Amino acid sequence: MKKYLVTGIGGFVAYHFLERLNEFGEKAEVLGLDLKISQEAKEYSFENIKLNFIELNLLEYRALEIAMVSFSPDFIVHLASFSSVGKSWEMPLESFLNNTNIFLNIAEIVRHNKINCRILSVGSSEEYGNVKESSLPLKEDTLLHPANPYAVARVSQEMLSKCYVDAYKLDIILTRSFNHIGTRQRTDFAIPSFAKQISEGVKQGLREIKLITGDITVIRDFIDVRDVVNAYFALLKDGKSGELYNVCSGKGHSLKDVVDLLAKIFGVQVITETDPKRVRPLDNRIIIGSFDKIKAHTGWEPKFKLEESLKAVVKNV
């Protein structure tokens, strides 16, 4: 029975990871860690997974060490993060400390205690920063220009990962994961926020709905969370230690495209109004990735189209 330690167990990616793991049909044991675990998460039930939780602050080294050593995982899936780009501008210190130090704690505990496991270190497409269209699609060897505190922290985590692979031979796989979409995502992210606002307008019987947004001209590579977790399993199985992989769809859509598709799915007219408070001080204009490397190494490629992903979000809003 394989053992998975999953940080950020209360997040929406973790739920989909567990759901996919259960679908494999093989018995597995999972220890989920998070600062606070909701009652909903505590009631997760999966036929093929023995699931336990520990609430702890991943910045507290000793508490984390006790949990990791006693569980002795085969795989560590490090999903916990201070993940909001917008909030990283408001709370840069917290963003940086969380996204670097919690990873450093995990790596040090594995090293000191000689835990024989494979670590999945999840990074972000935000690390690429602002790029010229001539640089698209973004490949793993593209020069990085991180343009916000969150992205800088993710680059630091990535560099720490490489240090521990090279110096201590830890088995770490690295990703730059692009913009996830899917069910259970918090509404402080753009797409679930849009879906919630439109849904509330529909419930009020409105045929024309005003949507409050940030800058919707930016272009992003949106990828379904179900594709994301499939990529993570593929990397845990076949990824090469020390290697970095884009997890992306290979296609770009503006947030305006997303609004138009949501309006179509809901069957309403949507007008948008930009809230200056939701516009970031500095934002990447266009991000589109290449998944050639992960496909070559593992055979993975994305399956879900954007409209399919949005329909799943709308169905569960």
Q: Where are the domains of the chain?
A: 2-182+223-250+288-303
Classify domain 2-182+223-250+288-303 at the CATH class level. Answer: alpha beta
| 36 exposure class (CB count in 10 Å sphere: 0-12, 13-18, 19+) | exposed
pLDDT in tens, the chain (317 residues): 999 999 999 999 999 999 999 999 999 999 999 999 888 888 899 999 999 999 999 999 999 999 999 999 999 999 998 777 878 888 888 888 888 999 999 999 999 999 999 999 999 999 999 888 899 999 999 999 998 999 999 999 999 999 999 999 999 999 999 999 999 998 888 899 999 999 998 889 887 898 888 888 999 999 999 999 999 999 999 999 999 999 999 999 999 999 999 999 999 999 888 877 766 666 778 999 999 999 999 999 999 999 999 999 999 88
Strand order in the sheet with 2-7: 49-55, 28-34, 2-7, 75-78, 118-124, 171-177, 244-247
The DSSP bridge pattern shows strands 219-220 and 253-254 to be antiparallel
Q: What is the pLDDT of residue 93?
A: 87
Kindly state the tokens that stand for 107.
Answer: 């790596």
Q: What is the pLDDT of residue 316?
A: 87
Do the beta carbons of residue 219 and residue 249 sit within 8 Å?
no
Do the beta carbons of residue 171 and residue 119 sit within 8 Å?
yes
Neighbouring CB atoms inside 10 A of 143's CB total 8
Do the beta carbons of residue 246 and residue 91 sit within 8 Å?
no
Q: What is the pLDDT of residue 33?
A: 97
Enumerate residues 6+ apart whose C-beta is below 8 A from 187.
193, 196
Tell me how far apart the alpha carbons of residues 62 and 286 are, in angstroms, rounded to a whole number: 41
Q: What is the pLDDT of residue 254?
A: 95
Q: What is the pLDDT of residue 280?
A: 65
